[in-house]
Structure 1
Amino acid sequence: MTPKLLVCFAHGKESGPWGTKITYLAEVARQRGFDVMSPDYSHTMDPRQRLADLLALAPQADTLVLAGSSMGGYVSAQACAALRPAALFLMAPALYFPGFDEEPQQVPALCEVVHGWDDDIVPVERALRFAERHRAALHLLASDHSLNDRLPELGQVFGTLLDRAMKATTP
């Protein structure tokens, strides 16, 4: 049975499916009635293989939200063309790196990007480029790549996005 509301998380390159951010944000989603899933991609460091794995899972819902952190941001953004989510939430997305620099397609209008000014893994310019090209809301925080020190702000931005996604897809 297809769930009405679903958030599908994609974790970063070296983290796991239930790290600090995802665990925190999953609770934000559950409080709003969303089911949550967070596949384990730790078997591969290849972003294209992770994307293929997500597409093979083919998550579906009346209101699907994709959420990704770092390399998971790349995976979530690239999955938009196939999965057609109602909303996309990216945290320090690892976009535009040599070898996996293709532009995401069919990014939903409901799209929020959160990035840390002090990110030493993914340059903040990558988030700016994505946000400008896709007219996404961009939140720049005094934080590092993990953003773990800004969980309340992440939860607030994510919760607002989920609320908007529900309104946009509810008749």
Structure 2
Amino acid sequence: MSDNLLVFAHGKESGPWGTKISHLARTAQRRGFAVISPDYSHTHDPAARIAQLLALQPQAQRLVLAGSSMGAYVSAMACATLKPRALFLMAPALYFPYPGWDAEPEGIPALCSVVHGWHDEIVPVERAQRFARQHAAELHLLDSDHGLNDQLEMLDLLLDRLLLRVLMQAP
């Protein structure tokens, strides 16, 4: 079992090592976290992606889950089983009124940071606000769109801050 592990979940249309994840992986590695980013591109079914993540059984003394868009939904829904120390969600695709997309995540860790763009054209900002209110999570609203790719520096700072808080916790 690794001491520190960050598991990324990519969005519906992206891949496991896109611009955002590759950038943030370097942030995590600088903080001493191993990083994995499974490839979910074979399916757009959120239940299948959640099952794939759970089947990996990622384990670490300090496990952190992170996801973007649909990947944020997958990461949030895996919390009850995987029990991460922290959760980092970017433009989380939560609370869509479709079967498989409408469940309330459970087991959300106390260290939870949500980042959303004010101009998100895919997931309304109110969904991030609802999640943050429901789970007492940090909420960072940025002058950006759904991809948040123009905010890599800020995402880097926010993830770094969260990982530092994880590292400051007792093992």
Q: TM-score range by the shorter chain?
A: over 0.9
Change (3 A) 1:169 1:17: farther
SS of the equivalent of 2:60 reads coil
Matched, 1:28 2:24: no
Query: What is the CA deviation profile of residues 6-34 of structure 1, one whole-angstrom value per residue up to 9, with x for unaligned ones?
Result: 00000000000000110000000000110
C-alpha distance in structure 2 between counterparts of 1:128 and 1:105, whole Å = 17
Q: What's the C-alpha RMSD, in Å, of the aligned pairs? A: 0.5
Moved over 6 A (4+): none
Query: What is the CA deviation profile of residues 67-101 of structure 1, one whole-angstrom value per residue up to 9, with x for unaligned ones?
Result: 00000000000000000000000000000012211
C-alpha distance in structure 2 between counterparts of 1:10 and 1:163, whole Å = 21
Paired residue for 2:117? 116
C-alpha distance in structure 2 between counterparts of 1:38 and 1:58, whole Å = 13
Paired residue for 2:49? 50
Which deviates more, 137-146 or 91-100? 91-100
Paired residue for 1:87? 86
Paired residue for 2:5? 6
What amino acid does structure 1 have at the position aligned with 2:71?
G
SS of the equivalent of 1:62 reads strand
Alignment of 1:1-171 (within 5 A): 2-98=1-97, 99=99, 100-170=101-171
C-alpha distance in structure 2 between counterparts of 1:13 and 1:168, whole Å = 33
SS of the equivalent of 1:112 reads strand
Residue pair 1:63, 1:169 contacting (<8 A) in 2 also: no
Aligned residues: 169
What amino acid does structure 2 have at the position aligned with 1:70?
S
The runs of 5 or more residues in structure 2 that have no matched partner are none
Q: Scaled by the length of structure 1, what TM-score is found?
A: 0.98
Residue pair 1:13, 1:71 contacting (<8 A) in 2 also: yes
Q: Scaled by the length of structure 2, what TM-score is found?
A: 0.98
C-alpha distance in structure 2 between counterparts of 1:23 and 1:60, whole Å = 21
Q: How high is the sequence identity, in percent, across the aligned residues? A: 65
C-alpha distance in structure 1 between counterparts of 2:170 and 2:55, whole Å = 24
What amino acid does structure 2 have at the position aligned with 1:34?
F
